[in-house]
Structure 1
Amino acid sequence: MSSAVRIARGLGALALAGAATGLAAAPAHAEEYRYWSFWTADTATHGGGGWTYATEGPSTARPADGGVAGFRFTVSADSARAAKPRAAADFDAVCGGTKAADGRKRVAVVLDFGTAADAPKGETPPAARTECARVPEDASAGDALAAVAAPLRYDSSALLCAISGYPKTGCAEQAGGASERERSTESAAPDVGASDEHTGAGGPSAGLIGGIAAVAVLGAAAVWQARRRRG
């Protein structure tokens, strides 16, 4: 393996690591963004009910029967400062009355639309609610969300922008920054199972998208250099 390839792979790994944590070590002056964060039940919490920031996006997370997926509309610069869903991550409270079925699984979905302070200008957050999604065994958390909280809205990068139509416009725009129309690059919602949004991996998905882009550029450069040296 050439040194160029080794260097590119090492830099690529660092880029992905930074993206996967959503720049959790963001400086104090980092810009805050308004976005949907993704949470899962904290299995380390005694008796259940706690939340942990998801380590992957809802399109790839595949909870088992009895899983809990939480979504909170929040304003923050990184995962360390993101607000958790205010309802407990309690599967029985949400899905206790839903019977199991062959070939299906039950996922408790907790939706917290945030506070009035979190809301974009001119919008009022809907009341928080919980839903029990009964979906195919191989369904993702995103599939469960789509089953109980339509309509969903995504941007052209497959970033989750709205749940149950909230907010009406905008997608992970800076809080107090440019207008939502200027920052949003919206499109029709893609297939949830195939989307690559990462709302729950710590802060806005821009970090993840940027990391992937960096890996692609570094990889291409390494291959070009290796071929040039062999030539």
Structure 2
Amino acid sequence: MRFAAGVITGLLILLVLAAAPAQAAGYRYWSFWQWSDGGWAYQQQGPAVHVPADGAVEGWRFAVSPDGGRDAARPAAAGDFAALCAGTPAQDGRKRVAVVLDFGGAADAPGGESPPAPRTACAVVAPRAGSAEVLATVAPPLRYDTNGLLCAIAGFPRAGCADQLGAAGAPAGGERPADSASAARTSPSGPALGVGAGLALVVVLGAGAAWQVRHRR
């Protein structure tokens, strides 16, 4: 009976551990947004392939955010195209795209750097220009890594690229969000101990079965 009670207790502990959600990793990176229906919507395509329409508003936010894009910090300012491009007249054969740049707060900046003040711009570009060209027009210099991940806008930050942060907020290395927005890759989700707990559960059940066989003989 004592063994059976121990098995039940062990199973309950394993089930609780298996149900616990994995802690989301934090990353320091630029996320990419589109103003839509009165709010910021996460951009599913990266700036290299997305072609904004005339009158579009694109937003960029630098912050420490979880991987997965939609849960990243949004630009603080609203995306009012009429206001943002009021001082930029339309031109024949060109399109206007408003850009909102939010460099985040001091807590988001890498050590030794101070984030620039937020700013807006109105790019005038060719009709087929993509978001990367729009951004390069209004906020150079841009910095990319060897995989094409956008690392810096207007030279900020000076170093690093989508660094994963440890518990204390320091870079921890490891994988980075891929460029979909930057093209952010969705983090795996689910039980923190899914496979391990399952194997442990098999071990416990096997031990219990063996104990019962021995004591029936």
- The two structures have a TM-score, normalised by structure 2, of 0.68
- TM superposition shift of 1:203: 5.5
Q: What residue is the counterpart of 1:165 in the other structure? A: 155
Q: Which amino acid aligns with 1:31?
A: A
Distance 2:174 2:115 in 1: 20
Distance 1:83 1:157 in 2: 23
Q: What residue is the counterpart of 1:138 in the other structure? A: 128
Report which structure shows greater RCO (CA 8 Å, sep ≥6): 1
Partner SS, residue 81 of structure 1: coil
Q: What residue is the counterpart of 2:107 in the other structure? A: 117
Q: Which amino acid aligns with 1:74?
A: A
Question: Which of residues 117, 122, 133 in structure 2 aligns to 1:127?
Answer: 117
Distance 2:43 2:70 in 1: 12
Distance 2:77 2:185 in 1: 20
Question: Which of residues 28, 52, 57 in structure 2 aligns to 1:34?
Answer: 28
Larger helix proportion of the pair: 1
* Runs of at least 5 residues in structure 2 that lack an aligned partner in the other structure: 1-20, 189-217
Q: What residue is the counterpart of 2:72 in the other structure? A: 82
Distance 1:55 1:198 in 2: 6
Distance 1:173 1:31 in 2: 10
Are 1:154 and 1:160, in contact at CA under 8 Å, matched by a contact in 2? Answer: yes
CA deviation digits over 1:67-118, x for unaligned, max 9?
A: 1110000111222321110010111111022111122100001000001111
Once the two structures are aligned, what percentage of the paired residues are identical? 55
Q: Which amino acid aligns with 1:70?
A: G
Partner SS, residue 30 of structure 1: coil
Q: What residue is the counterpart of 1:59 in the other structure? A: 48
Root mean square deviation of aligned Cα: 2.3
Distance 1:197 1:143 in 2: 16
Q: What residue is the counterpart of 1:70 in the other structure? A: 59
Runs of 4+ in 1 over 3 A off after TM superposition: 200-204
- TM superposition shift of 1:200: 4.2
Q: What residue is the counterpart of 1:96 in the other structure? A: 86
